[in-house]
Structure 1
């Protein structure tokens, strides 16, 4: 049995395989509301390279994906300004689940149920390796941010702020 056979076969993993992405899966004990702090501690990596996948929406309920460093928050005001909309806010968990096809806490930007525009904090592209959700709670994949750029073609933004 290969390592890849031990990991969940999620829509995200199917998309990574379909596009010949070189990735490594990482399972860890999921903790409700543990977020990137918990997953980075479990995997022994810097929280800055653990990337959150956030499903947000504009004032007219248009959904979008935001990829952000684990140790930063999204300035929704700055993001709204960059997108030229009035407001942006996080989706309620059940709405995010409907748009992405994933359960909050296991949301991956790959293989989403609904195609949505993706916005990525610009400095993520400068990292050598990132850890991002593989489509299931307690399951991250590590890969090069260049693969995220290639697959998702995100718009790069500068909207990250310290808590």
Structure 2
């Protein structure tokens, strides 16, 4: 069991484990999980300063709005760390990062568009997700909701098998 699943179990957060296998994109992950693209929420690690990170939760089909996030945090500069730094900061490899069970409980900011919805987050291992109520998850993580994203360019949906 991954550290994320252990953390969710220990906290008593209502969840469903979704074993969907490898996915090459958010659209493919949504198809495999039988949800809409915006229900698959990416956990991004953002660096504020040396050894100062936060988790940003952004639904599929949207990306971080850097000007909005900088304004919210009151900083002039933010960046995405490289894969090695992200793993050192979280304990998870890219593609498996989740705030649950991370080696450090960094602050969490979830995009406002996930409020009130059921979402699918990573579960700390490839091909496995957690289906949770966004409000419950963000509350458990001590996080906040904010308007921090913008729509991505049109995302092509993979076709379902007939």
Which residue is 2:11 aligned to? Answer: 19
Tell me if the contact between 2:120 and 2:129 (Cα under 8 Å) persists in the aligned partners.
yes
**TM-score if structure 2 supplies the norm length?**
0.88
**Any gaps of 5 or more consecutive residues in structure 2?**
153-162
Offset, 1:146: 2.5
**Any gaps of 5 or more consecutive residues in structure 1?**
1-8
After TM superposition, list the pairs within 5 Å mapping 1:14-163 onto structure 2. 14-31=6-23, 34-60=24-50, 62-127=52-117, 129-163=118-152
Tell me if the contact between 1:77 and 1:87 (Cα under 8 Å) persists in the aligned partners.
no
Q: Identify, as 1 or 2, the structure richer in helix.
A: 1
Deviations 1:42-92 (A, max 9, x none): 112101011100001125552111001111000122101110001112111
Tell me if the contact between 1:23 and 1:143 (Cα under 8 Å) persists in the aligned partners.
yes
Distance, in Å, in 1 between the alignment partners of 2:53 and 2:79 is 10
- What count of residue pairs does the alignment treat as equivalent? 152
Q: Aligned Cα RMSD in Å?
A: 1.3
